[in-house]
Amino acid sequence: MASISISAEQSGWAGLMKVCRPLTRHGLLLPCLLFMAFIFVWPILSLLAKGVYSPEVRDTLPQTAAAVLAWDGAGDPPEAVYAALVADLRVADRRDVANAGRRLNYEIPSYRSLLIKTASALQKNSTEPPRQQLTTIDAKWQDRTFWTAMRRAAPAVTPYYILKALDLEQKDDGSIGKVKPEEATFVDVLGRSLWISAVVTGICLVLAFPVAFRISAASPRWRGLLLLLVLLPFWTSLLVRTSAWVVLLQDNGIINSLLLWSGIVKQPVHLIFNRIGVYIAFVHVMLPFMILPIYSVMVGISKDYTRAAYSLGASGPRTFYKVYLPLVWPGLWSGCLLTYVIVVGYYITPLLVGGSQDQMLSYFIAFYTKQTINWGLASALAILLTTCVLVLVGLYGLLGRQSQIVVKA
């Protein structure tokens, strides 16, 4: 009886351990997942949320926000709106008023100074009507435009920054239209960023394919040496590599000196602080990112496939397009995707070697984050860039699968 009881107990314990074993394996991943969530996911999401969440006006002027949203926007605002603004400004902290004024200043440039001036000049025990108090301090409060701007900025969840990133704006009547041509900036910058990334990716692909093929076809001894040369740039700081091109490409730099000495040109060629310099520096920085994925696929392809094609009478080009290229497609698409995604978000390289018309969207994200402290617009631009990258990743995957099907057919 005792042995039977012990066997049953052991069997039950073994069954319990068998059930808990998958949970234990998944539980080992929990610290890593929590670390990624708090260190990576949460900061990014909290930053991106600022592109649509702007509660400064609502939190600082709660009565005014409620009153102005209750107003239909037609005609002059009712007396209740003036009374609410006076009541809010009398009790609001001056720092909070400045923050709310900064948000309103995005709508009308002089709004922040108007709000601070009004908050400082209001008398707590005044018996004058609220409308008269405000218009006495500044006649701008008679302008309906300032109140419609207040109405647009009152909601905590706002489309203002996203529209601004798309060169759009919300009109006084609530409709959405394009900004003035002289104010349109970001759509052109986004197109420029996508175009520069495409050109750099194409150049890297043309240069990387023969290099990767030569490395994969080399003997093991030479293959290690060639891979070392490809990996060597990673041992040098990106800032140092980019700064080196400033020295090489300037008008009195080494490249122009060689061109002048050889007689190819009679005067220095402008290779720096323009689009040419951006392309050269980008290709130098990104070429290893294109070579390595292509090489990793090429080195695993058996030569028996091409030999079989030749033995069956296929020509060299036909063997390449029908046999070799389909096998290399995963490496090509991986290299193109990796290169494109990295380039489209680069900041330091165009800043150092490009001109004013060569800056990409990441430059403006950094500008609004660090200099103007407009985190809302910086977050909206980041949302725009992230969305474009995700769409391009999906298109790359779709086109990659379709291209493989076409080539195999």
- Whether 204 and 351 map to the same domain: the answer is yes
- Whether 248 and 146 map to the same domain: the answer is no
Q: Residue 4 has what pLDDT?
A: 47
- Whether 110 and 76 map to the same domain: the answer is yes
CA angle, residues 386, 149, 157, in degrees to nearest 5: 40
Q: Residue 339 has what pLDDT?
A: 94
- Whether 209 and 65 map to the same domain: the answer is no
DSSP string, 347-390: -HHHHHH--TTS--HHHHHHHHHHTS--HHHHHHHHHHHHHHHH
| Spatial contact of 149 and 107, defined as CB atoms under 8 Å apart | yes
Could you tell me the CATH number of the domain that includes residue 368? 1.10.3720.10
- The predicted model scores a pTM of 0.84
The domain total for the chain is 3
- Whether 197 and 329 map to the same domain: the answer is yes
In a domain, 165, yes or no: no
The two structure tokens encoding residue 232: 């060597």
Q: Residue 59 has what pLDDT?
A: 94
Residue ranges making up the domain that contains 139: 56-158
In three-state secondary structure terms, 176 is: strand
Low-confidence ranges of the chain (pLDDT < 70): 1-26, 399-409
In a domain, 118, yes or no: yes
In a domain, 124, yes or no: yes
Q: Residue 1 has what pLDDT?
A: 47
In a domain, 133, yes or no: yes
Backbone phi, then psi, for 178, in 5-degree steps?
-75, 150
- As a whole number of angstroms, the distance between CA 347 and CA 344 comes to 9
- Whether 353 and 308 map to the same domain: the answer is yes
- Whether 255 and 121 map to the same domain: the answer is no
- Whether 38 and 71 map to the same domain: the answer is no
Name the domain boundary from 114, 143, 158.
Answer: 158
- Whether 251 and 102 map to the same domain: the answer is no
In a domain, 177, yes or no: no
In a domain, 83, yes or no: yes
- Whether 274 and 386 map to the same domain: the answer is yes
In a domain, 179, yes or no: no
The two structure tokens encoding residue 8: 């049953």
In a domain, 172, yes or no: no
Q: Residue 313 has what pLDDT?
A: 82
- Whether 106 and 199 map to the same domain: the answer is no
Q: Residue 406 has what pLDDT?
A: 47
Helix (H) or strand (E) segment spanning residue 87:
helix 79-91
- Whether 227 and 105 map to the same domain: the answer is no
| Spatial contact of 185 and 167, defined as CB atoms under 8 Å apart | yes
The percent of residues in the chain predicted with pLDDT above 90, rounded, is: 52
